[in-house]
């Protein structure tokens, strides 16, 4: 029996990029998937685009939030409605390599992995970067505490586990995926990393200081959410931010 994968895609005003993201799923060489798109109250043509895609492929399912609830709540809704044994995530502006699921599921089988991820390639301002965020074969909670190399759109995780560690919705500013991976890795010994860039992540070109401050606040809130006190969270956030700034520099320069 073939393993079915449920792909969760939240979408909010994503008309510029979502069609290409959907096509990267349809192009998968592994066919046993369903794509759950949760429209989070879009006001542009996102809904029209995803309805056209669903009309052409019965594996695509659409769910509508009555009002904007945020990416964490939208992902959680998709997880609860999923039928697959495994959950995968793909944001509405990211892209998968056509062999992503085929190679990833083979890797999962080889390692008996509960949660796994891949290396990440980047597009910045429409131009591919030469930099690749490498995956580590065995990535622990302690490793994750120092830096997050687990790109959400690369993750595949057993649904039964993801249901126990849904994305937090009680914070407005938080890296919700970072919190869930931390929580999962309290139960699961390691996240296995496939060191091949099967995900392409669209990098924001916004370098305003306000954006960086918001990201730091989100990181701090994530550490607090998983149980660290204020002082430890502050110093962990400083270390995390240093790694993040270094990564952004390497993406920008291609080094």
Q: List average pLDDT for each run of 10 residues in the chain, which is 255 residues long.
A: 91 97 98 98 97 97 94 97 98 97 98 98 90 96 92 98 94 88 96 98 64 83 86 84 75 69
pLDDT of residue 254: 67
In the block, residue with structure tokens 């390692």: 111
How far is the C-alpha of 162 from the C-alpha of 160, rounded, in Å?
A: 6
Q: Given CATH 3.90.550.10, say whether it is the number of domain 5-205.
A: yes
Closest alpha carbon to 30 in 96, 89, 83, 95: 96
Element (H, E) at 94: none
Please state, rounded to an integer, the average pLDDT across all residues of the chain.
92
The CA angle 59-61-65, to the nearest 5 degrees, is 165
Burial class (CB in 10 A: 0-12, 13-18, 19+), 168: buried
Structure tokens at 106: 């083979």
Q: Looking at residue 152, what DSSP letter applies?
A: G
Tell me the pTM. Answer: 0.91
Q: Convert the pLDDT of each residue in 52-104 to its tens digit.
A: 999 999 999 999 998 899 999 999 999 999 999 999 999 999 999 999 999 99
Kindly give the interhelix angle for 176-187 and 71-81, rounded to the nearest 10 degrees: 50
């Amino acid at each position: 029996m073939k393993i079915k994968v449920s792909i969760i895609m939240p979408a909010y005003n994503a008309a510029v990029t979502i069609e290409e993201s959907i096509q990267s799923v349809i192009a998968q060489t592994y066919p046993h998937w369903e794509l759950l798109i949760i429209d989070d109250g879009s006001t542009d043509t996102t809904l029209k685009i995803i309805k056209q895609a669903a009309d052409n492929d019965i594996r695509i399912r659409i769910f509508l939030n009555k009002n904007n609830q945020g990416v964490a709540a939208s992902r959680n809704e998709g997880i609860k409605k999923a039928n697959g044994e495994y959950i995968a995530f793909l944001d509405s502006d990211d892209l998968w390599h056509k062999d992503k699921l085929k190679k990833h599921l083979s890797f999962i089988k080889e390692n008996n992995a509960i949660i796994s991820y891949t290396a990440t390639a980047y597009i910045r301002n429409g131009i591919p970067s030469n930099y690749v965020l490498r995956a580590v074969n065995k990535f622990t909670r302690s490793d994750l505490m120092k830096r997050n190399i687990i790109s959400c759109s690369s993750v595949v995780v057993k649904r039964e586990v993801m249901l126990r560690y849904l994305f937090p919705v009680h914070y407005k500013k938080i890296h919700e995926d970072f919190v869930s991976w931390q929580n999962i890795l309290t139960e699961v010994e390691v996240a296995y990393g496939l060191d091949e860039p099967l995900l392409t992540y669209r990098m924001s070109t916004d370098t305003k200081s306000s954006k960086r401050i918001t990201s730091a606040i989100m990181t701090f809130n994530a550490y607090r959410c998983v149980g660290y006190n204020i002082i430890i969270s502050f110093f962990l956030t400083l270390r995390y931010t240093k790694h993040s700034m270094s990564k952004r520099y390497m993406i920008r320069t291609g080094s």
